[in-house]
């Protein structure tokens, strides 16, 4: 295998590259920042700029596998400018890859593209599977993920196996959701929002990075929920984090209306609820190292459950 990856400098990309190194896989990566480009035997960077329709075609040399992760962070303020960047970074990146593959007449063995569980509507009751009916877009996250998946699926002509991973809340020491929840909990301000009953479908970063390679190694095709098999309510997640940090969680929940006033449309990130099933990837033989939240937090924090 020779791998090309976009979004290589992000949380997930770094973990994937770490696994590739252990497996002696040669990795090419695309970056919009020229100062981050590396040129070595096992890891080589190439410049691209989807907004300007620029890509170094040398990135495809000898490559038979593509992992497409690139997309601007959704955690930044949702100004009109930032919302445009969040959407276009995913759409334009996927379109540029397709255009380049078209021009170079390249066919990969496998292409794996990131997506997100934000594509599912908010619900406290529904358990979402990959074939669940998706209603008309009710929020910005659904709009983004739907467009992202549509453009990713257009890459199917250039691979024997195309798969999309709808990624849940990624738990990692290095960043992401957990780091945002950890600080207030460490300072004894840990609390849930609204009812706290919102479902949090999560996955440990190590399981997620392994899942990408499982998808490639076994030639999976289609769309898969990349979540652990045991989602929890938001209040239970906050309490579990507090327990792992030896911090009590005793403050009353913050009302939804207050978060909407403070965060506006972006409040969907903490008020949203998706209970997402891992049944399909379990049926295909994927084994989680961290199927339960206390076990995942114990690994991250190095403390007892």
Over the stretch 247-298, which tens digit does the pLDDT of each residue have?
Answer: 988 888 898 889 898 888 988 988 999 999 999 999 999 999 999 999 999 9
pLDDT band, residue 305 (cuts 50/70/90): very low
Across the chain, mean pLDDT equals 93
Quote the CA–CA distance of 164 and 197 in Å, as a whole number.
28
Q: Answer yes or no: are the C-beta atoms of 155 and 190 closer than 8 Å.
A: no
With a CB cutoff of 8 Å and minimum separation 6, the contacts of 43 are 17, 21, 26, 27, 29
Count CA atoms within 13 Å of residue 157 on its CB side: 12
> Could you give the domains of the chain?
2-168+204-227+278-285 (3.40.50.720)
Mean pLDDT of the 15-20 span: 96
With a CB cutoff of 8 Å and minimum separation 6, the contacts of 59 are 4, 28, 29, 30, 46, 48
Bin 77: left if φ > 0, else alpha if -120 < ψ < 50, else beta: beta
State the burial class of residue 127 (Cβ atoms within 10 Å of its Cβ: 0-12, 13-18, 19+): middle
Q: What global pTM score does this model have?
A: 0.94
């Amino acid at each position: 295998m020779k791998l090309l990856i976009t979004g290589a400098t992000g949380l997930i990309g770094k973990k994937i590259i770490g696994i590739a190194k252990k497996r002696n896989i040669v990795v090419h990566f695309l970056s919009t920042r020229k100062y981050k480009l590396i040129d070595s035997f096992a890891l080589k960077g190439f410049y691209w700029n989807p907004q300007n329709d620029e890509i170094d075609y040398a990135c495809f040399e000898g490559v038979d596998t593509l992992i497409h992760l690139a997309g601007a962070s959704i955690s930044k303020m949702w100004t009109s400018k930032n919302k445009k960047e969040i959407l276009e970074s995913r759409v334009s990146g996927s379109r540029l890859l397709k255009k380049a593959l078209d021009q170079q007449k390249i066919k990969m063995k496998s292409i794996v593209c990131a997506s997100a569980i934000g594509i599912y509507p908010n619900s406290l009751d529904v358990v979402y599977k990959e074939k669940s009916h998706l209603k008309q877009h009710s929020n910005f996250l659904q709009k983004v993920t739907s467009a992202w998946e549509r453009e990713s699926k257009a890459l199917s002509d250039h691979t024997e196996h195309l798969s999309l991973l709808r990624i849940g809340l990624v738990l990692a020491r290095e960043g992401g959701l957990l780091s945002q929840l950890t600080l207030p909990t460490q300072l004894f301000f840990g609390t849930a929002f609204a009812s706290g009953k919102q479902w949090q479908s999560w996955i440990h970063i190590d399981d997620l990075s392994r899942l990408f390679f499982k998808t490639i190694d076994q030639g999976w095709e289609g769309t898969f929920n990349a979540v652990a098999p045991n989602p929890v309510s938001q209040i239970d997640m906050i309490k579990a984090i507090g327990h792992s940090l030896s911090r009590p969680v005793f403050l009353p929940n913050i009302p939804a209306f207050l978060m909407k006033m403070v965060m506006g449309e972006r409040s969907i990130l903490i008020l949203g609820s998706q209970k997402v099933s891992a049944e399909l990837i379990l049926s295909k033989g994927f084994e989680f190292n961290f199927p339960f939240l206390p076990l995942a937090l114990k690994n991250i924090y190095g403390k007892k459950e």
